[in-house]
């Protein structure tokens, strides 16, 4: 199986699919920042 080169992507997306609360994080390749969508912060 061929491994992926991180430089081939514009962003990396992390998804935590839990049964109560879901989390998504975006990490643009050319940035040191992580982005957490604000609409997810409204979930209980």
Q: Shortest CA distance to 27 belongs to which of 36, 39, 19, 18? A: 36
Which pTM value belongs to this model? 0.55
Domain ranges within the chain, ordered by starting residue = 8-42
Q: Shortest CA distance to 15 belongs to which of 6, 7, 23? A: 23
Q: Residue 37's pLDDT is what?
A: 79
Distance CA 37, CA 29 (A): 17
Q: Residue 36's pLDDT is what?
A: 85
Contact 23, 17 (CB under 8 A): no
Write the pLDDT tens digit of every residue in 1-44: 788 887 888 888 888 887 877 788 888 888 888 888 776 555 54
């Amino acid at each position: 199986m061929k491994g992926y080169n991180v430089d081939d992507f514009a962003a990396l997306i992390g998804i935590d699919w839990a049964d109560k609360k879901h989390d998504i994080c975006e990490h643009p390749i050319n940035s040191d920042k992580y982005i957490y969508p604000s609409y997810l912060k409204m979930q209980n």
